[in-house]
Chains A and B, each alone.
Chain A
């Protein structure tokens, strides 16, 4: 941690307040960044982390408060001003042009390159930086060919080429595999050792401990504490974040594995491009079991769930529910049989211009509870919606608000409420990344809900990239890579390292060796 001095502040933000219509995103928030440190900005969704950093990057203008950069009071009117001050930001959604090369993306908008571009010189300079950080990208590669982790490296290259002294990363690991995360953290440490101050926006605690020097915790728009990482621990940070200690997750349990609720055999499914996304997958899901599917997203998990839900026609293979063949059945019959599906992209499967209540009964409107013959009983729908909004803590002005006006986390909670709360006889829950984008408190609530459902005999097929989540919840974990099942692990034999390797396609035996 070279170059770290106690007195040298790159950034001081004091008393920052930012109001939006109906909500105060930052209340008297303060934040400091030192030269050469990695500073985690930790908090739940909606705690105001991104808002505070967007103020620093000039995207928002604060309603009150002052910002000092290198000790001088500044007014940052936009990202242009921020870049002039040496402040760079890597957003969750990469701002790259896919059809251009790495080099072209990096130099885009750089003035000092001159009007005529010297390709060789640029590539040479890029090559130096790339090798200094131990990356493997080529300056001539097209961005669309790169993995998420490599695209992120291009974003970092852009920042380095602009001589950024203050670098903000917004939830950078959310798109990365565990291996890519390790590489990113090494990169961040190298950058910090060269004097760059790094802000790491995150809601993951392990990131605080594996890479950061200091941590500032935000809750409800306020900065509640700033600590040296060496002086704190997980329990303290969780309490600061959610304002109370965390509940413990249920321990291992005994399940009878006599009759499979869901049986998939030799399933082959194509993706939208017509390529095999699921290859000869077979497995059984037992009553009350939580079966995890680990894998980097895009390895056939989504196509598998869509095939089971009846939304994608398998090329070959069979799917049985309680012994009945449901392959090629209409989605409605599969829903009626008690199979719910929590899709990865909540909004893609929502009617955005329709109300919260209407979206909550998107599948249940045919239940006798909500419709008599052809008439929908909107009174009962409203009553049920009110219950669900409360129990799943969906934040909305009313049940008649349009879903498109809700925040992402609330749309996600709405989907969960519908899929877990409106089936008369729920048998199987197909869940794709159900807690993606949710904060700790909501994630915890969803986990508790899953455990409660499984105790009631509901089987859950849980697709996730969060290995901690899978390890904590699942009775078995099945690892998928390129559409194939690499292996299945039993509870009690989980090894995160091993699962991470299997996710890259290394077979179980080889991983052990």
Chain B
């Protein structure tokens, strides 16, 4: 009798790990090309367009810009998931970050309390705080009443979404906007591209700095150590004398705050105004990105930019090859699915036993 048996691998080398990832990435491209051929378009043609996104400067800048909000949110999720805090609410936290940043702009536009050059820093602070506080709410429920965070974080997304809808169709609607549910267009001093010519020029360094800070927090500080122990084993954390409430609240504040910064990038760097449905699911995509990065902060931003590239490539394929949007989604998910399958094979090997 032949049968298949799963066997756990011990610790694997980086080289092996990279080789497996590469293999499955190629496998993903192979399966995707089968789908393209079945749809009647040339796979080679399609891939050359995907690759061109990453080689042409203008579309690469587009890819980075799309990846940045996802990257910030994913960085926060790396931290949250390391703490075993299953935050599904990055989307809602992005909404709150967008709202707070927009609020600062509107306050300034209508009342003008602060000088122009302070508006952008105030937006950053407000975006971080709003996202962070929105994330500490479920963390507080968990600490105080033992409520599992998954449903509260998820449901708060809908509340945030409808809150933004309320603002944008009501008090915050642009009075000269012909009744469209949009805020006023942000003045230049509230937009990321004003500073160095392109939003990426401050967004990307900021994202890399954030990655470094999250890495440092987790690996070099005692509170980061407490977060990792807590994420590993709740019992062990209690046993080690970790102050669990304080750790969870701090961690969720930072995690939500980074999603809030992601929201800020959307309104200040991409759209230049608040509009309904703006995060476009980036908060959910960030969950996948965080896992693709193995919760490693250094990998979260590159992974997000890679995904941003796939988003841009999707637009290109759709427009130039006349493919349905669903085909683009199948292409993106095939690649991601295969990378995740690769993760499985880094942990297990299959053996044929007699």
Which A positions have Cβ atoms within 8 angstroms of B? 21, 77, 309, 311, 330-336, 341, 343, 348-354, 358, 362-363, 365-366, 371, 374-376, 378, 401-402, 405
Is A330 a contact partner of B11 (Cβ separation < 8 A)? no
Is B228 a contact partner of A351 (Cβ separation < 8 A)? yes
**What residues of A have a CB within 8 angstroms of the CB of B242 in the complex?**
332
Bound-complex Cα distance A358 to B240 (A): 12
**What residues of B have a CB within 8 angstroms of the CB of A365 in the complex?**
222, 225
Residue of B whose beta carbon sits closest to that of A331: B241
**What's the minimum C-beta distance from B13 to chain A, rounded to whole angstroms?**
13
Binds A, one of B57-65, B159-167, B229-237, B297-305: B229-237
Q: Which of A334, A348, A375, A405 is in CB contact (< 8 Å) with B235?
A: A348
**What's the minimum C-beta distance from B147 to chain A, rounded to whole angstroms?**
20
Is A371 a contact partner of B222 (Cβ separation < 8 A)? yes
Is A405 a contact partner of B11 (Cβ separation < 8 A)? yes
> Would you list 12 pairs from A and B whose C-beta atoms are within 8 A, ordered by A residue?
A331-B240, A332-B243, A334-B241, A348-B233, A348-B236, A351-B232, A351-B233, A358-B225, A362-B240, A363-B241, A375-B220, A405-B10
Bound-complex Cα distance A207 to B275 (A): 78
Q: Which of B222, B236, B241, B354 is in CB contact (< 8 Å) with A351?
A: B236
**What's the minimum C-beta distance from A308 to chain B, rounded to whole angstroms?**
13
Task: Given A365-B222, A374-B221, check contact A351 B229 (CB 8 Å).
Answer: yes
Is A335 a contact partner of B10 (Cβ separation < 8 A)? no
Is A335 a contact partner of B241 (Cβ separation < 8 A)? yes
**What residues of B have a CB within 8 angstroms of the CB of A331 in the complex?**
238-241
User: Does B223 make an interface contact (CB < 8 A)?
Assistant: yes
**What residues of A have a CB within 8 angstroms of the CB of B220 in the complex?**
375-376, 378
**What residues of B have a CB within 8 angstroms of the CB of A343 in the complex?**
239
> Across the A-B interface, how many residue pairs have beta carbons closer than 8 Å?
69
Q: Which of B223, B236, B241 is in CB contact (< 8 Å) with A350?
A: B236
Is B240 a contact partner of A363 (Cβ separation < 8 A)? yes
Task: Given A331-B239, A349-B236, check contact A362 B229 (CB 8 Å).
Answer: yes
Is B221 a contact partner of A376 (Cβ separation < 8 A)? yes
**What residues of A have a CB within 8 angstroms of the CB of B233 in the complex?**
348-352
Is B232 a contact partner of A330 (Cβ separation < 8 A)? no
Bound-complex Cα distance A358 to B218 (A): 13
Is A402 a contact partner of B11 (Cβ separation < 8 A)? yes
Bound-complex Cα distance A358 to B225 (A): 9
Is B11 a contact partner of A374 (Cβ separation < 8 A)? no
Is A330 a contact partner of B241 (Cβ separation < 8 A)? yes
Bound-complex Cα distance A401 to B243 (A): 26
Bound-complex Cα distance A348 to B238 (A): 11
Q: Which residues 113-149 of B sit at the A interface, judged by CB distance below 8 A? A: none
Bound-complex Cα distance A77 to B241 (A): 49
Is B243 a contact partner of A341 (Cβ separation < 8 A)? no
**What residues of A have a CB within 8 angstroms of the CB of B232 in the complex?**
351-354
Question: How would you classify the secondary structure of chain A's contact residues: helix, strand, loop or mixed?
Answer: mixed
Residue of B whose beta carbon sits closest to that of A22: B10
**What's the minimum C-beta distance from A357 to chain B, rounded to whole angstroms?**
11
Which B positions have Cβ atoms within 8 angstroms of A? 10-11, 220-223, 225, 228-229, 232-233, 235-236, 238-243, 354
Residue of B whose beta carbon sits closest to that of A364: B240
Residue of B whose beta carbon sits closest to that of A359: B236
A sample of 20 more A-B contacts (CB under 8 A), given A336-B241, A375-B220, is A21-B10, A77-B354, A330-B241, A330-B243, A332-B241, A332-B242, A332-B243, A334-B241, A335-B241, A349-B235, A349-B239, A353-B232, A354-B229, A354-B232, A362-B239, A363-B241, A374-B223, A375-B221, A376-B222, A376-B225
**What's the minimum C-beta distance from B234 to chain A, rounded to whole angstroms?**
10
Bound-complex Cα distance A401 to B240 (A): 20
Bound-complex Cα distance A363 to B236 (A): 10
Q: Which of B11, B221, B228, B239 is in CB contact (< 8 Å) with A401?
A: B11
**What residues of B have a CB within 8 angstroms of the CB of A351 in the complex?**
228-229, 232-233, 236
**What's the minimum C-beta distance from A7 to chain B, rounded to whole angstroms?**
36
Most interface-central of B223, B229, B235, B240 (chain A CB within 10 A)? B240
Residue of B whose beta carbon sits closest to that of A403: B232
Is B243 a contact partner of A311 (Cβ separation < 8 A)? no
Q: Which 6 A-B pairs have the closest CB atoms?
A: A332-B241, A351-B232, A331-B241, A349-B239, A335-B241, A362-B240
**What residues of B have a CB within 8 angstroms of the CB of A350 in the complex?**
233, 236
**What residues of B have a CB within 8 angstroms of the CB of A378 in the complex?**
220
Residue of B whose beta carbon sits closest to that of A401: B11
Bound-complex Cα distance A343 to B233 (A): 15
**What's the minimum C-beta distance from B109 to chain A, rounded to whole angstroms?**
39
Bound-complex Cα distance A351 to B231 (A): 9
Bound-complex Cα distance A336 to B241 (A): 9
**What's the minimum C-beta distance from A158 to chain B, rounded to whole angstroms?**
24
**What residues of A have a CB within 8 angstroms of the CB of B243 in the complex?**
330, 332
Is A311 a contact partner of B10 (Cβ separation < 8 A)? no
Bound-complex Cα distance A333 to B220 (A): 23
**What's the minimum C-beta distance from A326 to chain B, rounded to whole angstroms?**
13
**What's the minimum C-beta distance from A330 to chain B, rounded to whole angstroms?**
7
Is A311 a contact partner of B236 (Cβ separation < 8 A)? no
Residue of B whose beta carbon sits closest to that of A362: B240
**What residues of B have a CB within 8 angstroms of the CB of A362 in the complex?**
229, 236, 239-240
Bound-complex Cα distance A220 to B166 (A): 74
**What residues of B have a CB within 8 angstroms of the CB of A333 in the complex?**
241
**What's the minimum C-beta distance from A62 to chain B, rounded to whole angstroms?**
15
**What's the minimum C-beta distance from B227 to chain A, rounded to whole angstroms?**
11
Task: Given A330-B243, A351-B229, A353-B232, check contact A374 B222 (CB 8 Å).
Answer: yes
Residue of A whose beta carbon sits closest to that of B232: A351
**What residues of B have a CB within 8 angstroms of the CB of A371 in the complex?**
222
**What's the minimum C-beta distance from A13 to chain B, rounded to whole angstroms?**
22
**What's the minimum C-beta distance from B5 to chain A, rounded to whole angstroms?**
12
Bound-complex Cα distance A331 to B243 (A): 9
Residue of A whose beta carbon sits closest to that of B239: A349
**What residues of A have a CB within 8 angstroms of the CB of B238 in the complex?**
311, 331
Q: Which of B222, B239, B354 is in CB contact (< 8 Å) with A311?
A: B239
Bound-complex Cα distance A220 to B242 (A): 40
Bound-complex Cα distance A89 to B241 (A): 43
Bound-complex Cα distance A350 to B238 (A): 11
**What residues of A have a CB within 8 angstroms of the CB of B354 in the complex?**
77
Bound-complex Cα distance A173 to B49 (A): 70
Bound-complex Cα distance A236 to B236 (A): 42
Residue of A whose beta carbon sits closest to that of B228: A354
**What residues of A have a CB within 8 angstroms of the CB of B225 in the complex?**
358, 365, 376
Bound-complex Cα distance A353 to B225 (A): 13
Bound-complex Cα distance A353 to B228 (A): 10
